[in-house]
Amino acid sequence: MKETNNYPFILVHGFLCWGNEDRLNDVIPLFGMWNGSAKVALCDAGYIADTPSVGMFSGIWDRACELYAKIKGGRVDYGKVHSERCGHARYGKTYPGIVPNWGELDDAGKIQKINLIGHSFGGPTLRQLIHLLAEGSEEERAGTPEDELSDLFKGGKVKWVHSCTTLAGTVNGVTLPEQIDKFIVPVEVVVGALSMLTSGTWFSKVYGFHLDRFGVSSQTEHIPFRLKPIMDFVGLKEDNIGWELGRELCQELSKDFHVYDNIYYFSYYGVRTAINKKGKMAGTKDMWFAMKPFARLAGNINIDQIGKEWAPNDGLVNVPSAHHPFNDPWQDFDPANIKPGIWNVMPQEYKDHTSYMGILEKKEDYANFFLEIADRVTDLPVIE
């Protein structure tokens, strides 16, 4: 097929992970780990690609707002209504923009679009961003003076996106938060405390918590240790990845999301679990060792109540979550019949959750995986 566009690729990480603002990414790129770099592979092939950092403990709304500012350029605006409801600062940092002409018309009168790729919690983050681009926020429009309203909340920008690809995306929520919910709050207290203790130090620059809007963490300045900001963050369900990863809240927050006829959607998912000799779901022998305890939890605890279809997983994400968003149309991937406005679901792969980050993957295979994605969507007809 003939190349029809060369739109930039934005790769978005998930929970606990990092991007180009974190110095860790210079040594261990999230999309590549110790087996190369997807960004480098794409750029070497002539594509434009970047891997922005978004809040690794943040909810999908805040991550989408950060992503918008980092791609387009400008100051992060989390929304007047949203920030007041969630008790954090309205504005974040200012960025020059990865694609500053995003959404503008070129010399031929064509819109500058982008391609979005999201791993894990990056999947629902992309769906939130696309929803805001298309629909804006009625709540923010009603509660914000017009001259203060961020362009993101005005809507009308659905044509700014060419494709959306999820890699083991948590688009319907996962079972693990339900099974270890008693640990979520204690873990987040520790996270909040560590973020404040490390603010402004070398550690925050290497691996930043990106919670400045809560007065908890900063990569640039030291914040005195105070308990209240930590408890304010921990006390939230919305705006908090620990809860938004769960099936109930994830599906509630995304109930109004849907697909658009001008965007191509793809989902990839893997399984590296099987029933063992004891009749339990467990990681296979070649699953990365760090995933195996979580694979057992995700595949066994409360599965009889949840539904056995949720048992197969990639070590973190259950198959029904990564396959496609429940309320959206989908079809099995057919290279001769790729349609926009519907999820094209790729064949199940023998991979675990970290395979999409490059762990245990061959360097050449990992690079080719992203090049195949890029070649495919670059060849697809542009829908204005």
Which amino acid makes up residue 316? L
DSSP state at residue 303: H
User: Between β-strands 273-275 and 264-268, what pairing exists: parallel, antiparallel or unpaired?
Assistant: unpaired
Q: How many CB atoms lie within 10 A of CB 238?
A: 16
Q: Is the dihedral of CA 329, 322, 256, 160 positive or negative?
A: negative
Q: Is the Cβ–Cβ distance between 242 and 248 less than 8 Å?
A: no
* Cα–Cα separations (whole angstroms), residue 191 to 125, 199, 218: 21, 12, 13
Q: Which of 324, 318, 317 is nearest to 14 (CA)?
A: 317
Distance CA(77)–CA(61), nearest Å, equals: 11
Catalytic sites, residue numbers: 120, 314, 353
DSSP-based three-state secondary structure for 152: helix
| Residue 123 contacts residue 170 (beta carbons within 8 Å) | yes
Cβ-proximal residues to 2 (8 Å cutoff; 6+ apart), any chain: 379
Q: How far apart are alpha carbons 139 and 376 in whole angstroms? A: 37
- Give 342's contacts (C-beta < 8 A, 6+ positions apart): 259, 265, 328, 329, 330, 331
In angstroms, rounded to a whole number, what is the distance separating the alpha carbons of residues 193 and 216?
8
Task: Name the residue with tokens 């990414």.
Answer: 25
